[in-house]
Amino acid sequence: MDYTKLGNSDLQVSRICLGCMGFGNATTGQHSWTVDESATRDIIKHALQAGINFFDTAIAYQNGTSE
């Protein structure tokens, strides 16, 4: 995995970012196609094993259930 500094900080982040908008409770928020916590855990575990440490998440994703 390639890493780069985040902005002007000394924080090293992977060049690949995992978008997390598809994670969360499908019964809340604006998307019915999100994956549940169990599937999310599997995806994040795989990403971490691949060296990804940069995750895009926001309180707005599925009314906060993505986080």
CB-side exposure of 46: number of CA atoms within 13 Å?
Answer: 7
Domain spans of the chain?
3-62
3 carries an active-site annotation: no
Could you read off the pLDDT of 4-62 as tens digits, one per residue? 999 999 999 999 999 999 898 888 888 889 999 999 999 999 999 999 999 998 888 88
Question: 14, 61, 65, 66: which is the annotated catalytic residue?
Answer: 61
* pTM to 2 decimal places: 0.83
Residue 3, strand partner residues: 14
Of 61, 52, 7, nearest in space to 30 by CA: 61
